[in-house]
Amino acid sequence: MRELFERFLWSSRLSVMFGVLSCIIAAFVVFAMGLKDVIHMLHLIWGYVFSGSHAIRNDLVMVVVEILDTFLLGAVLLIFAFGLYELFISNLDEASKSEAGGKILIISSIDSLKSKLGKVILMMLIIKVFSFFSEIKPVTTLDLLYMGITVVLIAGALKLSKD
């Protein structure tokens, strides 16, 4: 009875495949959204070239920031899918043969998965802060001081996230 239960318990790890497949599908959807944003950016570039409008330029900068954020989110989903697969199902043989796979995809523990995801999420947050800063104009010296403190804290977070 115990052996049967242990076999069932070990086989239950395969349920993680639902999460892996869901993350991969979500990554493809996010990449498609990013492609749509790139097409929108090309239209904005075309309008900016002929008008030189400052408003179009500002929209263009924001779209570029959104594109970065979108593709980073897709990368997070893929890294998470690869990590779940490697931790619960099997090592990715193709990743170990590839130069790129050795840099980002070989995940040996939950801590290494958290570390890889944390770094990408930190980059997403930095992009969001940049997006926020590009929209606001400091009115008082205190606003400027808060913005400076935020930049210093972000730099500290980047420094701490280095291996």
Separation CA 163–CA 160 (nearest Å): 8
**Residue 82 pLDDT:** 84
77-80 CB contacts, 8 Å cutoff, 24+ apart: 77/23, 77/24, 77/26, 77/27, 77/30, 78/23, 78/24, 78/27, 79/104, 79/105, 79/113, 79/116, 79/117, 79/120, 80/23, 80/113, 80/117
95-120: average pLDDT: 70
**Residue 96 pLDDT:** 67
Is the pLDDT at 18 greater than 60, yes or no? yes
Give the tens place of pLDDT for each residue, 137-147.
Answer: 888 888 888 88
**Residue 103 pLDDT:** 60
Give the tens place of pLDDT for each residue, 65-89.
Answer: 889 889 989 988 988 888 888 888 8
Average of per-residue pLDDT values in the chain:
83
DSSP track, 35-95: HHHHHHHHHHHHHHHHH--HHHHHHHHHHHHHHHHHHHHHHHHHHHHHHHHHHHT---HHH
